[in-house]
Amino acid sequence: MQQSTRPSAEERRFLAAYDPSRYERPSVTVDVVLLTVRGTEVHVLLGQRVNHPARGTWGLPGGFVQPDESLDEAAARVLADKAGLRGIFTEQLYTFGSPARDPRTRVISVAYYALVDADTLADAVGGARKDHHVVARVVVPWGGEAGGPVNALDAEGRPLPLAFDHADIIGTAIRRLRGKVGYAPLGFELLPDAFTLRDLRLIHEAILQRPLNKDSFRRHVLGQGLVAPTGARATGVGHRPPELYRFATR
């Protein structure tokens, strides 16, 4: 980011006299849509609200932006505190600021989305956080990149009521993911270090919720040079063992 020029003496006097309390200020939070893929379905980490407002409903991990941290840092802090995850792919998504979206007061939420492979998420959530956190299945009631709110289901398929506008926020994350997965190397964020091309294709199919051509997918991925063979092969698969690949940083 570009640094502004050094303030003059006159500007320093102005700044010293500046009173920020003259303006009514909203609260600003960061909410993180932490997504993974289990089997053929996208899942999201939700926490059950133990306090009002909307107590008992399920919401995204989030927190107020602290005075000394950037928005990216706030998102990383939320991920570390609430999910025990560090260093995973995280990107700003959209900022939600409808005046009535939180009944407490004016709360503007800068939403982020993050991607992690299912095993790492299971390990992270399996600890002390188990009680009030769930990795919920996301049901997307629209195709392509139409957009709109989504539904969340628990492991038994029961719907989980979502807090505030979090159904919209998750829907926005799904739309972003669908839009980017075709040309950006996002699938690797959802897989362990070594994976087969079939694994990668199933990730894409789970995100897009439509079948992809096996041959074209293979050609496309190999042609992009985004993956490199490890030399190893998967074992115990009951058929010809596939090559294991890793993400190639070009």
Partner DNA sequence: ATAATAGTGTCTCTCAGACACTATACC
Partner DNA sequence: GGTATAGTGTCTGAGAGACACTATTAT
Tokens 């957009």 label which residue? Answer: 147
Which of 97, 126, 143, 241 forms a contact with a copy of itself (CB under 8 A)? 97
Write down the least CB distance from residue 6 to a copy of itself, Å: 10
236 binds DNA (CB under 7 A): yes
> Which one of the spans 81-89, 134-142, 149-157, 214-222 is the region binding DNA (CB under 7 A)?
214-222
> Which CB atom, from 66 or from 213, has the smaller least distance to DNA?
213
> Which one of the spans 43-51, 64-72, 167-175, 219-227 is the region binding DNA (CB under 7 A)?
219-227
> Which one of the spans 42-50, 84-92, 127-135, 235-243 is the region binding DNA (CB under 7 A)?
235-243
CA 99 to chain centre: 24
- Whole-angstrom distance, CA of residue 61 vs CA of residue 54: 14
The CA-based diameter of the chain, rounded to the nearest angstrom, is 77
- CA nearest 37: which of 111, 119, 105? 119
39 binds DNA (CB under 7 A): no
Write down the least CB distance from residue 190 to a copy of itself, Å: 22
Inter-CA distances, 227 with 14, 114, 203, Å? 55, 21, 15
165 binds a copy of itself (CB under 8 A): yes
Contact (Cβ atoms closer than 8 angstroms) between residue 26 and residue 108: yes
* Residues forming a β-bridge with 111: 31, 94
Given phi > 0 = left and psi -120 to 50 = alpha, else beta, which region is 50?
alpha
- The runs of H, that is alpha helices, within 52-165 are 71-78, 118-125
Binding site for DNA (CB under 7 A): 196-198, 212-220, 223, 233, 235-243
Residues at the interface with a copy of itself (CB under 8 A): 1-2, 4-5, 7, 10-11, 14-15, 18, 20, 23-28, 51-55, 57, 64-71, 92, 94-95, 97-99, 101, 103-106, 108, 110, 149, 161-165, 167-168
